[in-house]
Amino acid sequence: MNCHFLHHLRQAAQWPVRVGLSLLLGCALGFAGLAQAQESALPTPQSGIWVVKNPAKAPNSPGRSLAIDVQDSVLLAQIGDYDATGKPMFSVIAGALQADATEPQTVSAVQATLQQYHGGRSLGGPAQSAHLAGSTGEISLRFTSSFTGTAQFPGEPALPIERLQLDTRRAANPDVQTVDAFTGQLHAVDGPQNLLPDASFLLNVTRQAQSGEFVLKLNVSREDMPERFVCDEPPSTAAAPEQEQEQEPQPGTIEQSLRLQCAGEWLEKGVEASLSLEIVGNEVVGQLQYSRTDAQGLTQQARAQLRGVRHFYETNNLRTGESLYYAYSATDVQYVVPQSGIWVIPEELNGEPGRGFAIDVDGDTLALQVFGYEPSGDATFHIGSSPFVPGHISQIELRQPLASTQQNPGKASLSFDSMTTGTIALPGEPARKIVRFALSGPPDARALAGLWRFNVPGKAALSTTLSNVQGSTIRSDDGLFNCSFVSLASTLGQGNTLCSYTPPTEDADTSSYQFIFKWERGLSDFYGQLLNNETGVTAGTGISRIAYLGRDAAAGTLFSVGSQLYLPLRSAPK
């Protein structure tokens, strides 16, 4: 019955809707390509729990939160708030990301109606639908990065909002070593064309046991890099070993993101480099300073901005020998980390307003928000968190935040069998399937629209913007690339997406390629197979969607998969 989303989308966005066993939101949109060249791809807010920072709020009192989910520029949010008596309640908004009216090159924005509901299912209560109870006005959201922005509620000034940080590993057991791996792109490269010629990178961030020192390893395709970067020690957040760590996320309080200043050198190659990084949620952003001195003593310098997403992380307890692996891809099902965002119980989908669930996993912590109803029918929400280990059942003590007391209905249990599916057992209710909420119907060629990067081992990567939909195929404006969804059987199980590249006739390299990979909603990095049509040689390769095209009124606007990305990306000389 979880369709306060559906009801609001129908009311506010006026998009056609089909409702069945799974809720499908269909957007009859086409893409005519980019109307004009953009200086940057605009930021996309991270899906997960955000908090409103209000300096006027009393210390230690509950604050407002936004459970945000963004899928291809469509934003859905469930907003936890409080009425005049301090009683928890929630509203729902939905809308398409747009370029901000005042800062269209750097800020993305959404303006939407706050919808409220009444009469739905309570925890442990009988199945019943809710109904729209009214609106409290318009909310305006602006995002200056993927993890910062402002929210302006009706009748209030704009207030800062930030992505809630849940990861406790930085204040964790000194016996544990952690490794975070990120993949991504260098952009806004400033320097000679022969420095940092290619844009993709792999970054490993290791936190050493005992010392807590951070050591980095950065691999940039087609460039020499120092073997390791040593980082300045960040401010200590570690607690005494005997002190119990507080696991409950409190909306309105945010840990500092991890900021690192690192440097390295490779004397034999004449290479020196420094990195300035910030890690928030599953994203890394920063700046690389790079210099290289040749045998004749000529020094060249370049700098670039860096942005990437977490590929995996692992923890190793050097005292006990226990190791844990967390996978942020669809391939390692045994160690899968669920996608953060809005989730639903499929059997409750009947086209009427109902319950929604915000699941947010950051590092070693899982947070759950349940947006439902009191037995009286009033809208309310519960929140809780627990340590998260892939393949294990998480037990979350749910609490109802109130100004003066805590209402604790009991524990919810969660487990996951993929990035988008799992099982939930709520207090007083049987275990049932839970799935990531899809803001659109089955994927078609439009789902592939955006700026893509196809890696060709040993050669310059190929970058293109797919925007021209023709039937079941989407093409680049120059006609060199075309992509479509195919059956797994036709690729012998290698993937469900086939992209073909034909070089221009004047190109000295006449090799044409086919790329096969498995596309999945919510992912931006893929591993696939490359076929050289001239030689018949196949090889594994990486494929990334770096930015995507907006929808509806923003159909000609590029949005980054993360924080702002300056365009164009550097292309290496042939």
The pLDDT tens digits of the residues spanning 412-433 come to 999 999 999 999 999 999 999 9
363 DSSP 8-state letter? T
Q: Domains (ranges, CATH) in the chain?
A: 4-167+336-436 (no CATH), 176-319 (2.40.128.30), 445-566 (2.40.128)
The alpha carbons of the chain give a radius of gyration, in whole angstroms, of: 24
Spatial CA neighbour of 202 closest among 192, 216, 214 = 216
Peptide bond into 568 cis (omega under 30): yes
pLDDT of residue 12 exceeding 50: no
Spatial CA neighbour of 177 closest among 150, 204, 143, 145 = 204
Residue type, 406: Q
Query: Considering only 124-128, 344-348, 399-403, 491-495, which range has the smallest mean pLDDT?
Result: 399-403
pLDDT of residue 43 exceeding 80: yes
SS3 call for 171: helix
Exposed e or buried b per residue across 256-283, where buried means at least 16 C-beta atoms within 10 angstroms of its C-beta: ebbebebbbbeeeebbbbbbebbbbbbb
pLDDT of residue 495 exceeding 60: yes
Q: CA-to-CA distance for 541 and 157, rounded, in angstroms? A: 48
CB atoms within 10 A of CB 522: 17
CA dihedral 229, 230, 232, 233 (to 10 degrees): 130
Residue type, 363: G
Dihedral angle sign, alpha carbons of residues 85, 87, 88, 94: negative
pLDDT of residue 17 exceeding 60: no
Note the pLDDT of residue 497. 96
The tens digit of pLDDT for each residue in 209-240 reads 888 899 999 999 888 999 999 998 655 443 33
**Average pLDDT, stretch 524-548?**
91
Q: What percent of the chain has pLDDT over 70?
A: 85
Note the pLDDT of residue 567. 85
